[in-house]
Amino acid sequence: MSDEQMKLSKDVIADGYGLIAAAGYINNEGGQAIADAATELIDGGCETLLIDLDGTRIINSIGVSILLEIMERLLEDKGQLAFCNLTPTISKTFEIMGLVQYATIYTDRDAARAGLIGDASV
């Protein structure tokens, strides 16, 4: 649970759709790493971002506040933010802090692909 080193990868999974996979502690540094990856994908033409948090077990409010800023930038650009593979506690934290009102939550990556772009293949 307490691995502090963030493991992160990003990819374009379809035209206009970006994927960020992040595993580790989402604090100010982890949140900023996700934000930097999101900025690269958005600047590269992605209007919809899926953030897969498989392997992330602990977050803090500073990290979530950075995710909120990603969400706001996407909303300003008429884009969309989605998450998948959330633990119950991370899901509840997102609910408390208001992320789930503006982002879509999927159980896993296949469900997210199916819901966002109609493609269940990974």
Partner 1 sequence: MEVVLHLPVVPNVELVAAKAVETVGGALGMHQTGIEATSVAIVEACLNAMEHGGGQMVVRMSAETPAGRPGLVIEVEDSGDGFDPVETPRNSSTRVHGCTAKRGWGLTLIKELMDEVQIRSQPGRTLVRMCKYVENAP
What CA–CA distance (Å, rounded) separates 64 from 84?
A: 15
Q: Residue for token digits 């772009």?
A: 117
Please tell me whether residue 75 binds partner 1 under the rule CB under 8 A. yes
Task: Out of 11, 36, 77, 95, name the contact with partner 1 by CB under 8 A.
Answer: 95
Please tell me whether residue 102 binds partner 1 under the rule CB under 8 A. yes
Please tell me whether residue 72 binds partner 1 under the rule CB under 8 A. yes
Please tell me whether residue 25 binds partner 1 under the rule CB under 8 A. yes
Q: What are 82's two structure tokens? A: 């989605």
What CA–CA distance (Å, rounded) separates 122 from 105?
A: 17
Number of Cβ atoms within 10 Å of the Cβ of 107: 11
* Structural element, H or E, at residue 61: helix 61-76
Task: Out of 97, 105, 111, 117, name the contact with partner 1 by CB under 8 A.
Answer: 97
Q: 17 to each of 4, 22, 40, how far by Cα in Å?
A: 28, 16, 12
Task: Out of 54, 69, 108, 119, name the contact with partner 1 by CB under 8 A.
Answer: 69
Q: Min. distance of Cβ 79 from partner 1 in angstroms? A: 14
Please tell me whether residue 59 binds partner 1 under the rule CB under 8 A. yes
Binding site for partner 1 (CB under 8 A): 1-2, 4, 25, 27, 57-62, 64-65, 68-69, 71-72, 75, 87-90, 92-93, 95-99, 101-102
